[in-house]
Amino acid sequence: MNRLFFTHRSPYARIVRIVADVKEIPLELIEVNFQDKPAAFLAASPFGSIPALITDNASYIDSHSIVRYLENSMPTPPVFPAHTHEWALQENRVCLAYGITDRAVTIMKENMRPEELRSASQLSKVRSEICRAIAWFEVNIESVLPFPMLDAIALATALGYLEFRLPDLEWRATSPRVQKWFDEIQGTAVFKQTGPTPS
């Protein structure tokens, strides 16, 4: 069976878990303790980054490459569009959604530093970038393919991570169309089952 090294709070691992669930691909979930990383995990993921997938024949790091492997293993239901043009447009939306998550992680890590070492200007810049990306989706939400296509999974996971880690961002107040879209997805069983757990 495929073994997925993950944490319950990782948005990147959540994307993989959602894709595996909708494709009904069984995974052995191995939660990683960052204070005592397993040797098998570090062998598969030399940087110690989450998630990492070990199969019978290979190992994969980075959620996007893992999702590609899962798509090849079980093409239906698809998470990528069939046509090249649609794939390129989807990839753009996926990159924007991942960018939201990446910046939320940056803010979370910056906030973990002693207050006197935090960069207020950097935090402000990154928060502004997140808001601009959400504003883009507010205008273009109809372009997002239906759940569980990857752009929908990535965006929903990003918004869920914002609500988990940065509730003070209050993106809902300025993005009612994105809010309505997100509320429909976060009510699905797979989204509830894969949600982050508090520390």
Q: What b/e string do you get for 136-173 counting C-beta neighbours within 10 Å, with b at 16 or more?
A: ebbeebeebbebbbbbbbbbbbbbbbbebbbeebebbe
SS3 state at 178: helix
Distance (Å, rounded) from C-alpha 153 to C-alpha 98? 10
Q: Give the pLDDT confidence score for residue 198 in this predicted structure.
A: 65
Q: Give the pLDDT confidence score for residue 106 in this predicted structure.
A: 97
Q: Give the pLDDT confidence score for residue 199 in this predicted structure.
A: 57
Report the length, in residues, of the chain: 199
Written out in words, the top-level CATH class of the domain with range 84-193 is mainly alpha
Instruction: Indicate the CATH number of 2-73 among 3.40.30.10, 3.40.50.800, 3.10.20.600, 3.40.50.720.
Output: 3.40.30.10
Distance (Å, rounded) from C-alpha 137 to C-alpha 171? 12
Q: Give the pLDDT confidence score for residue 197 in this predicted structure.
A: 77
Q: Which two tokens stand for residue 175?
A: 């993005």
User: Could you list the mean pLDDT of each consecutive 10-residue stretch along the chain, which spans 199 residues?
Assistant: 96 98 97 94 96 96 97 97 93 98 97 93 97 98 97 98 96 97 96 85
Residue 124's φ and ψ, nearest 5 degrees, are -65, -40
Long-range contacts of 116-122 (CB under 8 A, 24+ apart): none
CB 107 within 8 A of CB 129: no
pTM: 0.96
**How far does Cα 192 stand from its chain's mean position?**
14
Q: Give the pLDDT confidence score for residue 81 in this predicted structure.
A: 96
**How far does Cα 160 stand from its chain's mean position?**
9
Residue extents of the structural domains in the chain: 2-73, 84-193
Residue 160's φ and ψ, nearest 5 degrees, are -65, -40
Q: Which two tokens stand for residue 166?
A: 């940065």
Amino acid at 50: I
